[in-house]
Amino acid sequence: MNAIGAGISIALAALGVSFSLAIVYFKTLDSITRQPDLLGSFRVLMFIGFAFIEAIALYALVVSFSIINS
Amino acid sequence: MAAEHVQTVIYHLAFHGVNLDVTKPVIVMWVVSAMVFLFLTVANFFSGVRRVERFLFDFIHDAFGSSLHTKKTIWFSFLVTLFLFIFLCNLSGLVPFSESPTSGISVTAAMAVVVFLVSQLVGVYCHGFRHLKVLVPSGIPVIMLPFIIPLELISQLARPFSLAIRLFANMFAGHSVMLIFLGLITSATFPLLKLLPFAGVVLLSMFEIFVAFIQAFIFTYLASFYISDAAHGAH
């Protein structure tokens, strides 16, 4: 039962995070095609956004590990 | 969970019932602190090291300087030390027989609490009693205040929590994923199949270097944002 709960928690978080990462990447590509000169700053901002969004999936990973061990 | 798993204690130490055992991450932290200290002091004597330091200072200044318009010099040294310490602590997880201190929640929580205290003290130093206006956004009708003030209080207190959990979860998750891949190497029955998880471990190690950098960057970026926000935001 614990394993099922842990799996559901990380799966839902991964679903949401993958959609958010797709939105960020899509919008960055869109911005680069509009303003190719600002590629460098777009790249930095994109990676910062990636790290923030990724952290949410990792919260869920920690929670699922603690569910398994509980 | 890494926060609960039992560390091998190298030297027992207790102070009035507070557990101060010396474990592997503690020794790694000492080594990292000594490296940061040596790097920042030795650089005055060797031009090669100074060039590296110059490059690093310029990078950090460009990245965080924009959010610290005033009182730059005081907080700049704090941010440089924070960045170097977290970056080297993250990287030390990739050294054989070493263990990353930032993959335990206690270390990241301590650093987050330090950042929180610094940002609050900066607010009190710059604005005195009026620092409490952080809790009251401008242009809010008086009747809304009983609802807004607890919300703002929670958002202030959630900052160190999210700082600590973000760094800890990133480091911990990277290490546990690598551990799972290493387990796949031993559990593969066909010898040639062992190459696949091995390649995965190599790629993950490279990715971990990137994650180590970006998490140190984000921690320092948020610290500089909080400090500058307390110094001249919402007043």
B3 within some domain: no
pLDDT value at position B1?
38
Give the percent of chain B with pLDDT over 70: 91
Contacts of B214 in chain A (CB under 8 A): 47-48, 51
What is the share, in percent, of chain B residues with pLDDT greater than 90? 20
Q: Which of A4, A19, A29, A27 is nearest to A53 (CA)?
A: A19
What's residue A45's pLDDT?
A: 84
ipTM exceeding 0.90, yes/no: no
Q: Which of A48, A61, A65 sits opposite B218 (nearest CB)?
A: A48
Assess if residue B5 is contained within a domain: no
Q: Please report whether residue B1 resides in a domain.
A: no
Q: What is the pLDDT of residue B3?
A: 43
Contact B164, B114 (CB under 8 A): no
Classify residue B6: in a domain, yes or no.
Answer: no
* Residue-averaged pLDDT of chain A: 89
The pLDDT, as a whole number, for residue B33 is 93
pLDDT at residue B4, rounded to an integer: 47
The residue segments making up the domain with residue B46 are 14-232
**What whole-number distance in Å separates Cα of residue A42 and Cα of residue B101?**
32
pLDDT of residue B115: 93
Query: Distance from B141 to chain A by nearest Cα, in Å?
Result: 33
CA angle B32–B35–B37, rounded 5-degree value: 110
Residues of chain B with pLDDT under 50: 1-4
Whether B208 is covered by a domain: the verdict is: yes
The total of structural domains in chain A comes to: 1
CATH number of the domain encompassing residue A13: 1.20.20.10
Residue A33 distance to chain B (closest CA, Å) = 25
pTM above 0.90, yes or no: no
Q: Is the pLDDT of residue A8 over 70?
A: yes
